[in-house]
Chains A and B, each alone.
Chain A
């Protein structure tokens, strides 16, 4: 069930009303209801996915209990084995469904290059949507219990609700047990301000997805599908539009997920913080897909020693975290190359100790950025666009061909677009996005105008305008890109 579908438009109000009116004062029943509707939401794609998520949830739930028991027993080292076993099970499931064919294909090619024909097995399996998201969420719980960051839960319903909570189930934000799980223990009271904030964030997410991502997708697909025959300026435009497509798509999903959760009295973590206003790559990575990057930081980078264990190990750790982060996105060399490319961009900042240079707000106390800030923003965006071209390409040779194609004399000629309306509407959406997000760059999300000086009627007009823009000029409803991850 997609957030931008009729089904969801019917599903959400019904679930909302039952959640508050029928189970409003019974936390346990609310949690059970969350599990049921989350499974319904997820099973809408394919009911077989439910077996997998139930298995993952059960393993992680039991691992928490056994870790606790082992710790109290005469052999506390068993906690480590239980934790490792559960992580291994989860990673094996992920590997089987997402990476098996990638490894078998590459192994086959490797052997073929040495003249051996390897008749390797390939699995004809459906990739369950959002498997990387909930697997990581389940793993984080086991690690948190092992590290004693959280008490193991004995409340199986709350735990299942934590793993399968439908707003963030298929594309994040990847929640931590320390943040989300305790919220299922406590009684939830309807909060008007929180709900209004949620509705506002849902509207903004829909605008980003339908108006920007879906429109840009048309032009982007055309350009990437025919890149050999197009001039440099058109290819560059394709890269820029893809940058906004993926931002609109993914951050749009996160906004809707966070907004929907607020309607149910649940607070999710922020996932994006206006990443295209970043002044360097390090700042970009603090603002893009925050829940994944902090996951890797806390559960991989820091355990490996982080940046405080000598320069060479810091370099090694940087490459590991970026490459693994790329590989998390999918079983393709382009994702690995994308991660590697960002590691290369990040490395100079790390070695020069400049990676935390920009932790303050952008253009603080000013309407416009300084020239230095503006150049930093544009330069960072240009590098990010090159990264996105690698990310979007079908394979490495297409990525290289595409990037090489940009840099020729046709870069200065006007781009050629065959299907003008989606391009025009997408560009209009980008224009509105940049203005609104710049004005509200210090707020939680783009349309967070609750603290602004605008009067209530003016705010109402803004909401109606955003709604109408989305309705009239929105593109064809398409699935969210990050579902495949």
Chain B
């Protein structure tokens, strides 16, 4: 009996040691992966599928699009820190934002959704600290996901990129990029209204997105980087109606963060892939507009502007 228990403990210890070793090695390697951004690109566009399909950074050349479908604010925040640390020339961050981001319903949709969770959590957890992750996962889950992370596809890609040499675009390392949408599902999505913004015009200060939005703001402020929340063009069906009420909520809860609302940017129906996302035609028009006008000349709905 004693022998069996000792042997079982020995195996458990060896297995745990291997897990910890692989975690430490992969964390070290991932933190060493270079994330260089060309000097002329001083704006980082970050967020989920809205900026991913809207900002073509081959047109809007002062920016780099590091968005990825389903990436919530917590993951953007963790990823952003690495990028900013390695690229001190970045002076502005455009974070995807709409009213639903500050609701707990949206937390469930974009953070705890099983598919998104499995994609984004492993790639963040190796860069994150315990403090970073704690609002998102409980303690046993933190350790479970952290120990499993080295063999997630995203992290394996990153580790490989470390061994493949120190050059290469940050976008090729799984950090995101512009994705032109070609699907033509506007009619269908109008019928189904599947992309209607969840949450309504109410800010829940206990939502995770709201919590991480504030963390992001504090961090960027400490680095002297300007954070602008950015709402990307949306079909008229998907724009929120209670703008006045929303304005007051923004002013009350996040008066320190600037917010540019491009949701009613004029685009024809042919420029939409569905009611929430522009297609490649819309992305071209919108990116050309940003390239020509820049952010400083923006005349649209601007909140909390300094």
Q: What is the interface of chain A, defined by CB distance below 8 A to chain B?
A: 6, 20, 190, 192, 195-196, 199, 419, 421, 460, 463-464, 467-468, 471-473, 476
Q: What is the interface of chain B, defined by CB distance below 8 A to chain A?
A: 1, 3-4, 7-8, 11, 14-15, 18-19, 114-115, 118, 140, 147-148, 150-151, 153
**15 contacting pairs across A/B (C-beta < 8 A):** A20-B1, A190-B4, A192-B4, A195-B4, A196-B7, A419-B115, A421-B118, A464-B11, A464-B15, A464-B18, A471-B19, A471-B147, A471-B148, A472-B151, A476-B114
Q: How far is the CB of B112 from the nearest CB of chain A, in Å?
A: 13
Complex Cα spacing A421 to B1, Å: 41
Q: How far is the CB of A343 from the nearest CB of chain B, in Å?
A: 40
Q: How far is the CB of A319 from the nearest CB of chain B, in Å?
A: 43
Q: Residues of B contacting A195 with CB < 8 Å?
A: 4
* CB atoms of A460 and B11 under 8 A apart: yes
* CB atoms of A468 and B18 under 8 A apart: yes
Nearest-CB residue, chain A, relative to B141 = A6
Q: Residues of A contacting B153 with CB < 8 Å?
A: 421
Nearest-CB residue, chain A, relative to B11 = A463
Complex Cα spacing A463 to B118, Å: 26
Q: How far is the CB of B228 from the nearest CB of chain A, in Å?
A: 34
Q: Residues of B contacting A467 with CB < 8 Å?
A: 11, 15
Q: How far is the CB of B132 from the nearest CB of chain A, in Å?
A: 22
* Additional A-B contacts beyond A195-B4, A464-B18 (7; CB < 8 A): A192-B4, A196-B4, A460-B11, A471-B148, A472-B150, A472-B151, A476-B118
Q: How far is the CB of A171 from the nearest CB of chain B, in Å?
A: 25
The answer to whether A468 and B15 touch (CB under 8 A), given A6-B140, A196-B7, A421-B153, is yes
Q: Residues of A contacting B11 with CB < 8 Å?
A: 460, 463-464, 467
Q: Residues of B contacting A463 with CB < 8 Å?
A: 11
Q: How far is the CB of B59 from the nearest CB of chain A, in Å?
A: 30
Complex Cα spacing A194 to B148, Å: 31
* CB atoms of B151 and A473 under 8 A apart: yes
* CB atoms of A199 and B8 under 8 A apart: yes
Complex Cα spacing A460 to B15, Å: 10
Q: Which of A6, A196, A199, A471 has the most chain B CB atoms inside 10 A of its CB?
A: A471
Complex Cα spacing A228 to B150, Å: 37
* CB atoms of B148 and A464 under 8 A apart: no
Complex Cα spacing A211 to B232, Å: 41
Q: Residues of A contacting B150 with CB < 8 Å?
A: 472
Nearest-CB residue, chain B, relative to A474 = B148
Nearest-CB residue, chain B, relative to A190 = B1
Complex Cα spacing A199 to B11, Å: 11
Complex Cα spacing A476 to B153, Å: 16
Q: Which of B1, B8, B150 has the most chain A CB atoms inside 10 A of its CB?
A: B1
Complex Cα spacing A473 to B150, Å: 11
Q: Residues of A contacting B151 with CB < 8 Å?
A: 472-473
Q: Residues of A contacting B118 with CB < 8 Å?
A: 421, 476
Complex Cα spacing A461 to B59, Å: 54
Complex Cα spacing A110 to B131, Å: 62
